Each structure stands twice: as structure tokens, then as C-alpha cells.
Amino acid sequence: MARESCVSEEADSTTAGANSYGQLGLGHKEDVLLPQQLSDFCEPRCIKSVTGGGGHSAAVTDGGGLFVCGLNKDGQLGLGHTEDVLCFTVCKPLISCPIRQVACGWDFTIMLTETGQVLSCGSNAFGQLGVPHGPHQCVVPQAVELLREKVVCVAAGLRHALATTVNGSVFQWGTGLASSGRRLCPGKTLPLFLTSKEPSRVTGLENSTCVVAGSDHSASLTDTGELYVWGRNKHGQLASPAAFLLLPQRLDARCFQDEKVSAVWSGWTHLVAQTETGKVFTWGRADYGQLGRRLESPEEGQKPGKQDSSFVFWRPQSSVPAPVHCLTGAAKISCGSEHNLAVISDKCCSWGWNEHGMCGDGTEANVWTPAPVQAFQSPVRLLLVGCGAGHSLALCQLPAHPGPCQDVKVTYPLQDATENTESQDAVDKERDWKER
């Protein structure tokens, strides 16, 4: 997320929803059905980004401080232990190491320091920590020493991670895409960056400025506004007829009405991009409303798919980026696994999967088009939004007397989307359930 200037008005926050790991930062693990205010958790300073993973949350301050809470079974909070944390807590191992950006994967965390060094903690079951001979998990952030170039952006997917260097190169590590690549590209040799447990340069990319990651895909944006994608394409999220792209493929500028792409975000199986004039395009999986528009019938040439020998179905998806006009000019956008948040005219809008209320509208019905979160009524001003896999975060500002920067609080109109994540088997079961 972009750096935020220090707010001089009072910041406030609320929280609601499932809270089984303490990821709402409220000090308990009980569900919250209505928005609740979140108490202060940091000294007077400003938050510049908020984000989340499978069941944990993170906030980075202007001064480089990192605050974390939630699920910590694999040490993904970087606190030196594996106990869940119910309130936002400063990451003491990094207290003298200013953090610039945090990317939360399913059960791991990637940190980028102000000096351009990459750190990682949490599960290393798929090599997603970038430490090939490291332990199965790491509870204290450790340097990804094999990534020797200065880094400017990091991203974390379900089981893989990426980094963009100051020279415009992209590195990827973690084997999360390897199994589907082997299955969908039989007889072909997978490039090293799809199978490596240490940072490996992604071939065919130059002048990258940022990277994003989904469950089984990756994307990179260049300084000339070109978007490249690779990985699995089951839901059309790569805008390609191929089932799997072994190497980065550039999306044609016509996909974006011949405009340069200025920003990109990724859910598990969908992508969102904004162009230089502020237009917002979405594509990929659509059956939970994550594209912000309904797809009433299969696209031309699209055929039903098979889940098993006895069940034939059609899953709504769009492999062609299309504009969502009501999002034009959005100041901030964030994608969860299958839901999204955006800041438009200082208001928070949400859309997508809402089975557990992560869209913050007080219901559990999917939200098919972006709609304002009514809990944030004027004169509340939205500053930041961020999503975890199944929970949402927002920082809002209330009118108050002008003065020094106030304590900032994080807002959560949301909840955890995955109740049973005690093992990787549970993750797979949940994904299979959602594929039905």
C-alpha cells in the first residue's frame, strides 16, 4: 500500500465477525456480530498499511513498527512462540528493524525492511520462507539471505512468495504452483522458479515495479504499465486459453482499453487492475461476486467442467478483463481470497464472498456489486483498507480538533473465512468444499 501521511484528526475503528484466532485484535476469541470499537494498540504514530493472511493480521506504522495478532500456530506472527495472540502486539524481534511492507500468506509472513532486505517467518512446509534448508517452521523473522539484491516489493500467495528488486527483476520461491504445473503440463520441464525453495529469478521479466500472488498464480507489473501473469489458470484469472502458464505472459493492452495499468491486486482466483485514468478492471472466478459484476451465462466457447465422474457443473468466471464502472477513481483497493474492499470518495465499499460477513454489511449473503459499508457513515473518512484471506481491515478518520498525530486504530467489518485451519489437510478440505 502507498505510504499515508500522518493524520491530524482522531482515528477510530470497529470490529465484527468470527474471531476464532483473535485476528480481530479484540482480546478474545468470541464471534462479534456487530461492529465493535478496537482500542488503541500503538503509541502516537500513523499506520501506513494493514493486511492479513489465513488467520492473522498485521499493521505497519509510518515509523516502521510492525504490530501483529491472530493465528500463530506456525509462528507466522514472528514473536518467538506459537501461541495465538488476541490483541495487536508489537513484533519485538523487529523493534530495531524498521519495516516497509508486509505480505501475509496462508500460514507465513514476508517482511520487507526499509533497507530492502527480506525477512520471513511461519510455515516452511512448501519452502515459502525462502530458506531451503531451514526448519519446518520459523517463529522469529529470519533473513532470506539468498535474495541478495535490494528489494522494493514483496508478495505472498497460498504457498509461494515473490519479490521485486530495485533493478526490476522478479524472484519467486516456494513450491505451491509446482504440483498443478506438473499435472497440467505433462512432459514439460518446469522452470526453476516454480519448484525452488530458495529465491529464483523469474525468466522473461524486466523492469518490474511490483508483484502480487494468488493461490496458484502470480502477476507482475512493469514500469511501462504492462501486466504479466503466470501459473494456474483454472478460473480464467490469467486471461489466457492455457490451463497453466509456465512462463510470464503479457496481457494485451486491449484488455484494458489500450491504457497502461498503474496498479494490480490479486485474490486467490481473481485479479483486479487499475489503469492510468483510474478505470478498474476485474477478471477470474466470479461465483461469489468477487468480480463486482454478475455473470448470468457462460462466456462464448466456455464449457462446463467436471469435478468428478458423476458431477458436471459450470462455474461462473470471466477470462476477459472488464471494467467495473462504479469503482473508477478508487483510491485504495484490496483483495481477500474471494472478497474485496475499496476506498472511493473517502467511503469504504465491499463486494464478493460474504458467507461469514467479511463484507461488513451485517448479512452473510454474497455481495455482487460494490456497495458502501453502512457502518462507515459520513463524516467518517476512510484512509486505508486491507484484506486477509477471509477477513477485512480498514483505518478510518473521524472529525476532531486539529492537533498532533493521534493513536491510530484499525477497523474490521469482518471475520475469518476459514473456521478449520488446524492443518494443511483442513486447508485442502475447505478448498475442495468451495469447489463444489
Q: Strands 412-413, 14-17: parallel, antiparallel or unpaired by DSSP?
A: parallel
> Which distant-in-sequence residues (6+ apart) come within 8 Å of 418 by Cβ?
54, 55, 389, 390, 426, 427, 430
The pLDDT value recorded for residue 21 is 84
Percent above pLDDT 70 for the chain: 78
The pLDDT value recorded for residue 296 is 62
Residue with grid cell 480538533, as numbered in its chain: 401
**Mean pLDDT: which of 12-26, 143-157, 407-421 is highest?**
143-157
Q: Span 105-129, mean pLDDT?
A: 97
Residue with grid cell 519448484, as numbered in its chain: 195
256-281 in b/e burial notation, b at 16+ Cβ within 10 A? beebbbbbbbbbbbbbbbbbeeebbb
* Residue 436 scores a pLDDT above 50: no
Is the sign of the CA dihedral 15, 25, 396, 155 positive or negative? negative
Spatial distance between the Cα atoms of 158 and 232, rounded to a whole number of angstroms:
13
Spatial distance between the Cα atoms of 140 and 92, rounded to a whole number of angstroms:
10
Q: What is the pLDDT of residues 283-293, one digit of tens each?
A: 999 999 999 99
**Taking a C-beta distance cutoff of 8 angstroms, is the pair 217, 232 a contact?**
yes
Rg (CA), the chain: 20
Confidence of residue 406 (pLDDT cuts 50, 70, 90): very low
Q: What is the pLDDT of residues 30-51, one digit of tens each?
A: 665 445 566 666 643 588 999 9
The pLDDT value recorded for residue 35 is 54
The pLDDT value recorded for residue 31 is 63
Q: What is the pLDDT of residues 238-280, one digit of tens each?
A: 999 999 999 999 999 999 999 999 999 999 999 999 999 999 9
* Residue 5 scores a pLDDT above 50: no
Residue with grid cell 496481457, as numbered in its chain: 251
pTM, two decimal places? 0.86
**How is 93-162 classified by DSSP, letter by letter?**
GGTTS-EEEEEE-SSEEEEEETTS-EEEEEE-TTSTTS-TTS-SEEEEEEE-TT--S-EEEEEE-SS-EE
* Residue 405 scores a pLDDT above 50: no
Provide the β-strand partners of residue 172. 162, 200
The pLDDT value recorded for residue 235 is 96
The pLDDT value recorded for residue 154 is 98
Per the model's pLDDT, the better-predicted residue between 305 and 211 turns out to be: 211
Q: What is the pLDDT of residues 135-168, one digit of tens each?
A: 899 999 999 999 999 999 999 999 999 999 999 9
Q: Span 22-32, mean pLDDT?
A: 71
* Residue 56 scores a pLDDT above 70: yes
The pLDDT value recorded for residue 342 is 96
Per the model's pLDDT, the better-predicted residue between 411 and 391 turns out to be: 391
Spatial distance between the Cα atoms of 180 and 182, rounded to a whole number of angstroms:
5
Per the model's pLDDT, the better-predicted residue between 317 and 416 turns out to be: 317
Residue with grid cell 492443518, as numbered in its chain: 423
The pLDDT value recorded for residue 134 is 77
The pLDDT value recorded for residue 23 is 77
The pLDDT value recorded for residue 403 is 43
Is the sign of the CA dihedral 205, 207, 213, 214 positive or negative? negative
Q: What is the pLDDT of residues 175-208, one digit of tens each?
A: 999 999 999 999 999 999 999 999 999 999 999 9
Report all structural domains of the chain as residue ranges with CATH numbers, in order of start: 11-434 (2.130.10.30)
**How is 356-392 classified by DSSP, letter by letter?**
TSTT-SSS-S-EEEEEE-TTS-TT-EEEEEEE-SS-E
The pLDDT value recorded for residue 6 is 37
